[in-house]
Structure 1
Amino acid sequence: MTHTYQITGMTCSSCEAKVKSALFSVPDVTDVVVSKETNSAQITMDKHIALTTLQNVLSATDSKYSISALEHNETVEITKSFLETYIPVLLIFAFITGVTLLIQLQQNHFNFEVWMRHFMAGFFLVFSFFKLLNLKGFAESYMMYDIVAKKIPAWAYLYAFVELFLGIAYLIDFNPLVTNSVAFIVMTVSIIGVLQSVLNKKRIQCACLGAVFNLPMSTITIIEDALMILMSSYMLLHLL
């Protein structure tokens, strides 16, 4: 079900990101769309959540934020399917897979390692692009669950650029040993916070596509990170 609420107290994009992250942390919330332009929030939930619960999490973030019911008509409640929720990620993977396979079709034979390198280049370039669209919003979401960013906030900002440089490194085939080692370490550390959040059933906004899309943390996020870990480890084994 989806309900629309009025939010007061938001003055900038940072406020928008804070409100979004706070509401995502509420149990049974699966999606949040916040707009400071309309001072509203659309919250998708598995079951009804009391307004006081939502207000409490906002007040804990900043006392200036206030939430009130704007639209609670049962006829407009929407239960989003898995496909509707994760279609941005699924489309990105489909596009990257399709383009990298087309590149291989231009060769005389299919080279699995070259295809993986191109796939990883596309993955890191695209995902870093969405993070850099709103770096501050991404960083604020990432700091909520990443084990390094929680202790060193600067890492949340640096992470997007690390992904960008990894994408470029894979694209130009820069020092494969160094590139794959960095990718393996970075993604292994990243997946720890994701696993903790998913296993503890925390409702947190996934920062994999920055603050552009409202994706809940789930097994999809684990699969994304695990795929990069498997690919980089496979390449490392063939280099050593």
Structure 2
Amino acid sequence: MEEHSVETTPQTFIGNERIGGYDALREFFGQDVKDDDETTYQPVIAIFAVAFLMALGLSWAFYGSILTLRAFEWFIAISMSFLAVQKLQDVETFSTMFLNYDLLAQKWVRYGYVYPFGEALAGILMVAGALVWISAPVALFIGTVGAASVFKAVYIDKREIKCACVGGGSNVPLGFVSLTENLMMIFMGVWMSARAMGLF
């Protein structure tokens, strides 16, 4: 390593020529090299697609039909739970990234550590359809704060930063996706509260 002034291994050699690591080898053979800073929506698409299919599967299993109101509720609740899991993989990195734009976390840093647990709790309880008096206010609160924070950062301050919505190491841009996540939580908070009060 010292001989070739490199910091990582393995290194590839062809004849006596040092090509380099994995990316350099791909480039040498004319293959595409992934840019780690490239923005992508792939993690969010995967989460929402699997959550949607799970919701349809649950609806089919419990009601014998995929077209039920409960399937819609499950879709949002499962999406919330999956997004929380992404954040909980590395709470420290998530909270650091979250501080870049969340208004409450900027005032009270611990909120960045509490947020993913609150989202997971609300999502799990909403999947179960239980303890609405806990899940609905939690979803409503974190959704409202989140929506206001994203709206300010993206649409008022015009900042171009990464979203912490799928964890701290993501390359998903802050904007429509994160706003949608928060609006879904607000909707579910209001929806579940209204159902619990027997309004429909």
Same fold (TM over 0.5): yes
2:163 is the alignment partner of 1:206: yes
Secondary structure of the 1:153 match is coil
Query: Is the radius of gyration larger for structure 1 or structure 2?
Result: 2
Contact 2:136 2:193 in 1 (8 A): yes
Q: Structure 1: where are the runs of 5+ without partners?
A: 1-36, 39-70
Give, in whole Å, the separation in 2 of the partners of 1:86 and 1:145.
19
Cα deviation code 1:116-159 (max 9, x no counterpart) = 33223312221111111111110000011111100111110111
Shift of 1:215: 1.3
Inter-CA distance 131–168: structure 2 relative to 1 (3 Å threshold): same
Contact 2:87 2:167 in 1 (8 A): yes
Give, in whole Å, the separation in 1 of the partners of 2:191 and 2:118.
20
Cα deviation code 1:180-227 (max 9, x no counterpart) = 122112111111111111112201110001123211112222122112
Give, in whole Å, the separation in 2 of the partners of 1:162 and 1:126.
13
2:64 is the alignment partner of 1:96: no
Q: Structure 2: where are the runs of 5+ without partners?
A: 1-6, 9-23, 25-29
Contact 1:133 1:212 in 2 (8 A): no
Give, in whole Å, the separation in 2 of the partners of 1:135 and 1:105.
35
Aligned CA-pair RMSD: 2.8
Contact 1:100 1:115 in 2 (8 A): yes
Give, in whole Å, the separation in 2 of the partners of 1:77 and 1:173.
46
Greater strand content: 1
How many residues in Structure 1 have an aligned counterpart in Structure 2?
Answer: 167
Give, in whole Å, the separation in 1 of the partners of 2:154 and 2:103.
14
Give, in whole Å, the separation in 1 of the partners of 2:116 and 2:34.
33
- Name the TM-score, length of structure 1 as normaliser: 0.61
Contact 1:206 1:221 in 2 (8 A): yes
Output aligned runs, 1:1-240, within 5 Å.
85-106=40-61, 107-109=63-65, 110-112=67-69, 114-199=70-155, 200-240=157-197
Identity rate of aligned residues, in percent?
27
- The code of the aligned residue for 1:95 comes to V
- The code of the aligned residue for 2:152 comes to Q
- Name the TM-score, length of structure 2 as normaliser: 0.73
